[in-house]
Chain A
Amino acid sequence: AIQMTQSPSSLSASVGDRVTITCRASQAIRNDLGWYQQRPGRAPKLLVYAASTLESGVPSRFSGSGSGTDFTLIISSLQPEDFATYYCLQDYSYPRTFGQGTKVAIK
């Protein structure tokens, strides 16, 4: 199975900060990667697919990039509703695998 490694595991940031989360695959996965946000007690929500395509309705402060093994999710200006845990997911091969998550907390 492909291993997905996110960094950092957690971070503290303030409203308005630029936040960068990275995800590394254990082998090349083209751009077969999505990003999901999960707020406490809630189901995950799709943010980005195909590494860089923003899901409809997702604010433009979110952006994704990368291909091959290295991927990035950027939140350009952190908003109060963005404090959550973020997961990457590879859909290149089975079994699908998630990263371990990055928790974004309030500083």
Chain B
Amino acid sequence: EVQLVESGGGLVQPGESLRLSCTASGFTFSAYWMTWVRQAPGKGLEWVANIKRDGSDLHSVDSRFTISRDNAKNSLYLQMNSLRLEDTAVYYCARDRTYCNGGTCYDLFDLWGQGTLVTVSS
């Protein structure tokens, strides 16, 4: 079955660190960019970070968050440091299927995990 499964969420105190994992199955993980998106309780979606197929290119919305991957383990990670109350959210990993047409390429998040909840609270 083609799927993504996140893990590693939980309750942490402000200032602490946490590493999220996302395990892929059913498709060739190394062939895709991967992305993290989060959603605070009752709020909208926020793009967090993405990483190229071989890990050579990556982007993040916040320097406290570092995305990485291990293609041998079909796994994506998000290292989150100095966590704040406002980082409380469900964190989703998503497959980034790049579509190119006429010299323009588009990012499509076509497969999502079920999400893992991170709660930052004292």
Main secondary structure of the interface of B (DSSP, over half): strand
**Distance, CA A87 to CA B112, complexed state (A):** 15
A sample of 9 inter-chain contacts (CB < 8 A) reads: A36-B45, A43-B112, A46-B110, A55-B108, A89-B45, A96-B50, A97-B47, A99-B44, A100-B44
Known: A36-B109, A55-B108, A98-B46. 9 other contacts (CB 8 A): A36-B45, A43-B113, A44-B94, A44-B109, A49-B108, A50-B104, A53-B99, A95-B61, A97-B47
Q: What's the A-B contact tally at a CB cutoff of 8 Å?
A: 61
Q: Which of chain A's residues have a CB closer than 8 A to the CB of B109?
A: 34, 36, 44, 46, 89
Q: Which 8 A-B pairs have the closest CB atoms?
A: A43-B112, A96-B47, A91-B107, A95-B61, A101-B44, A49-B108, A98-B45, A94-B59
Interface centre among A32, A34, A36, A43 (most CB of B within 10 A): A43
The count of chain B contact residues (Cβ–Cβ below 8 Å) is 24
Nearest-Cβ distance from residue A101 to partner chain B, whole angstroms? 4
Q: Which of chain A's residues have a CB closer than 8 A to the CB of B35?
A: 96
- Do the beta carbons of B99 and A50 come within 8 Å of each other? yes
State whether the Cβ of A45 lies closer than 8 Å to any Cβ in chain B.
yes
**Distance, CA A49 to CA B99, complexed state (A):** 9
Q: Give a binary string over B67-110; 1 marks a CB under 8 Å from any A CB, 0 the rest.
A: 00000000000000000000000001010000101001011111
